[in-house]
Amino acid sequence: MAQIVHAVGHVKLNTNCIADVVRDSTGILGLHVTREASGQVWLSSNGRVAELVLVDAAENSTHTIGLEALTAAQVEAAAGRVEGAGCRITSREPSLDCMDAGVTFTTPEGLRFEIHTPIRNDIHHPRQLGMGVGPRRLDHMNLLSPDPQATVRQLEAIGDLHMSEKMVNDSLTWLYGGNRQHHLLGIVKSRAAGLHHYSFEFPEFSMYCRLGDLLDHHDRQLIWGPGRHRPGDNTYAYYLDSSGAMVECSGQMSTIADDAHFKPNIITNLERPGNVRVMNVFGAPAPLEWREHFFPFTALS
Ligand SMILES: [Fe+2]
C-alpha cells in the first residue's frame, strides 16, 4: 500500500512582519503571491495555490506543518491513527479552501501537523517571472522536537513515513514518504518544538550565485553554503527571512526507488571535525548559527 504522506504540502508561519517576509519571499526567493485575505498571504513557487502561508500575528512562530496525502481516503486513514499514536485531533476540516480534505493534530511535544489532500495545482502554468531567483517547489522541512524519537514514532504511525537515515544518537532523523525523495522531513533534537528550516528546490546550481547576489543587494548574507549534503545528496544554501525563520534552497535529492531492499543508513561518526565530510560532500562544516538555530512553534493549547 502507498505511504499515506506523499510529499510536503505547505508550511504555515505566524509573523509580526508580514510585509517584510512577503518582500523577501518574492524579491529574493522568487515566490509569487496568490492570495491576500483574512490576515493571510499565500505564496507559491509554481502552479500550486499555496506553499508558504503567512499569518499576520503578534509573534514570529511556526503555525502548522502541512503534509500531502494523495486521496481523501488516506487523510481519513491518517485521522484514524492519530489517537493511537498519542496525539490529538484539533480539526477535521481542511485549513485552506484549495484542498478537499484535511486533518489537523497536535503532538505532546508541541508540534502541529495537517495531513491534507493535494493543493490545487495549475501544472500548465508553473512559472511567474519576478525579481527573485525562482525555485521549483516546496521540497522538505526540518523540524525541532524536544523528543525526536517520539516525533519520529508518531509520524511513522500516523503518516506511514519511513526512516531513510539517522544519527546514531537520534539527534537528527530523516524521513521519506510516497514520492521517495530521501527526506520530506528531518527531525532534529532541540530544547523545544520548532522549525529548523523550510526548503525550496533549486533545479540549477547557478541559482545559488543569483541568491547570494540578491541577498547582498538587500544587505543580507547566506548563513551556510552553497555545498552538498551527504544525507540526501542534495546541494544547499541557507539564509534567514525577516521573521527569523531559516530558508534552505536545495538541489534535487536522491530517491529511494528500491523500497523493498532499502536499508536506512545509521551515521555513527558524530565527532567534529572528523565527521565534516561524513555530513557534507564538499567539506565545509556547518557554522554555529546554523547548528543552534531555533525558530519556535506557537504555543498550542
Ligand atoms: Fe534541509
pLDDT at 232: 97
CA 223–ligand 1 middle distance (angstroms): 13
pLDDT at 102: 98
141 backbone dihedrals φ, ψ, rounded to 5°: -140, 150
CA 142–ligand 1 middle distance (angstroms): 6
Asked if the structure places residue 300 within a domain, the reply is no
CA 209–ligand 1 middle distance (angstroms): 19
**Domain count across the chain:** 1
pLDDT tens digits, 84-123: 999 999 999 999 999 999 999 999 999 999 999 999 999 9
CA 130–ligand 1 middle distance (angstroms): 25
CA 183–ligand 1 middle distance (angstroms): 9
Among 125-134, 149-158, 241-250, the least confident range? 125-134
Determine the average pLDDT of the residues in 58-75.
98
pLDDT tens digits, 176-191: 999 999 999 999 999 9
Among 134-148, 176-190, 262-276, the least confident range? 262-276
CA 131–ligand 1 middle distance (angstroms): 24
Determine the average pLDDT of the residues in 169-179.
97
CA 255–ligand 1 middle distance (angstroms): 15
CA 137–ligand 1 middle distance (angstroms): 14
Strands 61-68 and 112-116, bridge-based pairing: parallel
CA 171–ligand 1 middle distance (angstroms): 14
Asked if the structure places residue 143 within a domain, the reply is yes
CA 235–ligand 1 middle distance (angstroms): 9
Q: Look up the domain containing 13 and give its range.
A: 7-123+134-291
**Residue 224 confidence class, pLDDT cut points 50, 70, 90:** very high
Asked if the structure places residue 245 within a domain, the reply is yes
pLDDT at 273: 87
pLDDT at 65: 98
Asked if the structure places residue 18 within a domain, the reply is yes
pLDDT at 134: 97
Sign of the alpha-carbon torsion through 183, 188, 194, 200: negative
Asked if the structure places residue 68 within a domain, the reply is yes
Q: Do the Cβ atoms of 158 and 85 come closer than 8 Å? A: yes
Strands 194-201 and 246-250, bridge-based pairing: parallel
Three-state SS at 154: helix
CATH number for 11: 3.10.180.10
- Residue among 89, 67, 71, 93 at smallest CA distance from 80: 89
pLDDT at 12: 98
301 pLDDT more than 80: no
* Residue 100 amino acid letter: D
Distance, in Å, from the CA atom of 278 to the CA atom of 272, rounded to the nearest integer, reads 10
CA 141–ligand 1 middle distance (angstroms): 6
Asked if the structure places residue 299 within a domain, the reply is no
pLDDT at 23: 97
Rg (CA), the chain: 18
CA 37–ligand 1 middle distance (angstroms): 30
Determine the average pLDDT of the residues in 225-238.
97
pLDDT over 70 percentage in the chain: 100
CA 185–ligand 1 middle distance (angstroms): 8
pLDDT tens digits, 3-57: 999 999 999 999 999 999 999 999 999 999 999 999 999 999 999 999 999 999 9
Indicate whether this model's pTM tops 0.85.
Answer: yes
Distance, in Å, from the CA atom of 118 to the CA atom of 132, rounded to the nearest integer, reads 26
CA 177–ligand 1 middle distance (angstroms): 15
**Residue 274 confidence class, pLDDT cut points 50, 70, 90:** confident
129 pLDDT more than 90: no
Helix axes 72-82, 148-159, angle to 10 degrees: 140
CA 175–ligand 1 middle distance (angstroms): 12
CA 38–ligand 1 middle distance (angstroms): 31
**Residue 2 confidence class, pLDDT cut points 50, 70, 90:** confident
CA 17–ligand 1 middle distance (angstroms): 24
Q: ∠ at Cα 219 (214, 222), nearest 5°?
A: 65
> Dihedral (C-alpha) 179, 199, 14, 10: value to the nearest 10 degrees?
-20
Asked if the structure places residue 2 within a domain, the reply is no
Q: ∠ at Cα 149 (108, 4), nearest 5°?
A: 80
CA 143–ligand 1 middle distance (angstroms): 10
CA 224–ligand 1 middle distance (angstroms): 12
pLDDT at 86: 98
